[in-house]
Amino acid sequence: MINLSRSPWITLFFIIFFIQNNALAADLPVPAAPKVSAKSYILQDFESGNILAQVNAASRVEPASITKLMSAYVIFGEIEAGRLQLTDEVIISKKAWRMPGSRTFVEVNSKVPVEILLKGIIVQSGNDATVALAEHVAGSEDTFVSLMNQHAQKLGMNGTNFANSTGLPHPEHYSTAQDIATLSRHVIREHPKYYDYYSIKQFNHNGIPQYNRNKLLWRDKTVDGIKTGHTDSAGYCLASSAKRGDMRLIAVVLGDKSEEARANSSRALLNYGFRFFEGRQLYKAGQPLKNIRVWKGEHENLPLGLGEDLHITYPVGSYKKLNATIDIQPDISAPVQKGKSLGTLNISLDNVIIAEAPLIALQTIEEGGLWRRSVDGIKLWFK
């Protein structure tokens, strides 16, 4: 431990350091997000889903090769379901071999393992690898695209429609920054084993080195994905994610002016989020938060809790200002089924609700006998 009495200069330094940091953490409002050159963007906390910054996040734009994030998501699902193996060999069709744009350099009629093609999609953004796997999984690219759109609807990506598996320009091919962030969260949460592929910087196929276009993988060790995209009409796009400590953020920038600009825009947003916000898990699913009285049941007391873990995001230094309140339905009578919503948990900061979650019954309470129902009925009548 440093003895502050040894030097007045050291003492002064620590006093200034303490004042500055605590004032910044507790008293100053969160500044506006940095201005970036992307046409639309979103910055979102992975765990809570809270949006920390956005501009035109719901506007429909061309996603370019970020489209392949959904292509890979569909393929991950097929692998998890046991309908596809990483070691399966895929015959490369003429259509796949002739695809324009970025390539994994697979040869027509050759047999390539699924895992190599997946790396080609994720690392090299190969259009040939994408179409080859789409045909292998669904019989044709068109059928595979139908699967992509089905998954998009299931995930609530209401501003998205896919016309191909690669992201090549098409009038009916569009998405939003908000939808891409949603998809990114599902990829990370549902397929952590395969999400590791997005941090691969380089791999070789047919003796040809293939490099990841996500420059942030080289510039920031906390960044571990996700996907780049570019066409002349879409501009430069990047969905990125970084984890620092226990907090993970997702940034999506679309329609930026250059490869360098999309990297700078993304990093500026990520740094802003980590600097001015923090997140934590407040309560676990199934954790009893309140016991309530149940009338006319075989038991009087019923524990309430959450059906899912509750994560929140809030300005740095404001954790002690958070306030939790509970609203419960009045006069609850049996029978009550486990999982039934009976109230709401509200988390507020400076009298503004920043998170809420339904409170559910953590166990079932069946209806009591005639005597219990009669006695409680009388009590309720006089209540």
Q: Which of 48, 65, 71, 93 is catalytic?
A: 65
b/e per residue 49-68 (b: at least 16 CB within 10 A): ebebbbbbbeeebbbbbbbb
Taking a C-beta distance cutoff of 8 angstroms, is the pair 241, 226 a contact?
A: yes
The H-or-E segment that residue 9 falls in is helix 8-26
Active-site residue, from 68, 119, 227, 296: 68
Structural element, H or E, at residue 244: strand 235-244
Beta bridge partner(s), residue 303: 291
Q: What is the CA radius of gyration of the chain?
A: 26
**Quick check: 271 and 216 in contact, CB under 8 A?**
no
Report whether 316 contacts 276 (CB < 8 A). yes
- In DSSP terms, which residues pair with 202 in a beta bridge? 211
> Is 284 assigned a catalytic role?
no
Element (H, E) at 271: helix 259-276
Distance CA 121, CA 71 (A): 9
Does the annotation count 243 as an active-site position?
Answer: no
146 is catalytic: no
d(CA 260, CA 103): 21
Question: By the 8 A CB rule, do 177 and 254 touch?
Answer: yes
199: nearest Cα among 225, 237, 162, 231: 225
Instruction: Give the three-class secondary structure for 122.
Output: helix
Q: Are 314 and 354 in contact (CB under 8 A)?
A: yes
End-to-end CA distance of the chain: 62
**Residue 48 to residue 309: CA distance in whole angstroms:** 9
* CA distance linking residue 381 with residue 377, whole number of Å: 6
Point out the catalytic residue in the list 40, 102, 125, 175.
125
Active-site residues, by number, are 65, 68, 125
